[in-house]
Amino acid sequence: MLVLIFILSASCLLLAETCVAPVTMPANPSPSPEIDSVVIHNNPMWRPPEYSTNPYTGEVTETVPGHWAWNGSIVVTIKNRPFTPYVDEKGNYINRR
């Protein structure tokens, strides 16, 4: 019994060790854009229930219950970073117009 516990605990340690992945960061990471504003427009819509009528008995049954449907948007405004003109490797002057 003790051998079984040892084997199970050793295999768990080996499995946990192989699941760890190395994370490498670039030497010069690019900066993230600056978020100016975030606006959330929430306008849910009420969907009324749908009914159907049995053509043989005339019985009316609710086929789809009424529910609130998601309706909206998220507007994210990002500031432009200033552009610095430069000369590329072919000698072309790169500038924003």
Q: What is the pTM of this model?
A: 0.39
96 Cβ contact partners less than 8 Å away, ≥ 6 residues apart = 83, 85
pLDDT digits (tens, 9 = 90+) for 17-74: 555 667 777 777 777 778 889 999 999 999 999 999 999 999 999 999 999 998 999 9
Strand residues in the chain grouped as ranges (E): 35-42, 45-47, 50-53, 60-64, 67-69, 72-78, 86-87, 93-94
Domain residue limits, the chain: 30-80
Nearest-10 Cα torsion for 79, 84, 88, 92: 110
